[in-house]
Amino acid sequence: MPMFNWETKYAIGHAEVDSQHQDLIAVMNHLYELLTSAPRDVNSQAERIINELALHVSTHFAYEEDLMVRIGYPTEKIAQHAAIHNDMLAKVQSIVAAHRSGDARALEDLLPLLYGEWLIDHICEKDMDFSGYL
Ligand SMILES: [Fe+2]
Ligand SMILES: [Fe+2]
């Protein structure tokens, strides 16, 4: 699985959302570097990065949900999108909790989740859908 580089084709056309997506990708890439190149005793750095990640993810999802209301995105679609956010956030939080409780391999589950389900599917498809209402 390669590291993910931002490209303009991923822009949904809203400066703040695009900036938050780029920040999230940067944090994810830090985590990727840490997990793929450092030795196993990476807990102090990992803690900082996952705290940063959890904060970025929750802030970003709340921002998007508020934005969708403001731009008149249909209520039903907002509910569907928010449900996906809640599911993603719950998965991230449960992996972080597993890591904190001593599961040394928990963080490895974050990368496929973030790069696959969240990045590729969510940014490129789900977030792109509300860009038509901007
Ligand atoms: Fe997003
Ligand atoms: Fe989203």
| pLDDT greater than 70 at residue 104 | yes
Tell me the pLDDT band of 121, cut-offs 50, 70 and 90. confident
Ligand at shortest distance from the CA of 66: 2
CB 87: neighbour CB atoms within 10 A? Answer: 11
Ligand at shortest distance from the CA of 20: 1
Number of helices and strands in the chain (H, E)? 5, 0
Compute, in angstroms, the gap from residue 60 CA to the centroid of ligand 2: 8
Compute, in angstroms, the gap from residue 109 CA to the centroid of ligand 2: 20
Compute, in angstroms, the gap from residue 62 CA to the centroid of ligand 2: 9
Q: Return mean pLDDT, the chain.
A: 88
Ligand at shortest distance from the CA of 81: 2
For 22-73, the pLDDT digits (tens) are: 999 999 898 888 888 766 556 678 888 888 999 999 999 999 999 999 999 9
Higher-pLDDT residue of 114 and 17 is 17
Ligand at shortest distance from the CA of 14: 1
Ligand at shortest distance from the CA of 88: 2
Under 8 Å between Cβ of 88 and 117:
yes
Taking CB atoms within 8 Å and a gap of at least 24, the contacts of 104-109 are 104/40, 107/31, 107/35, 107/46, 107/50, 108/35
Compute, in angstroms, the gap from residue 122 CA to the centroid of ligand 2: 6
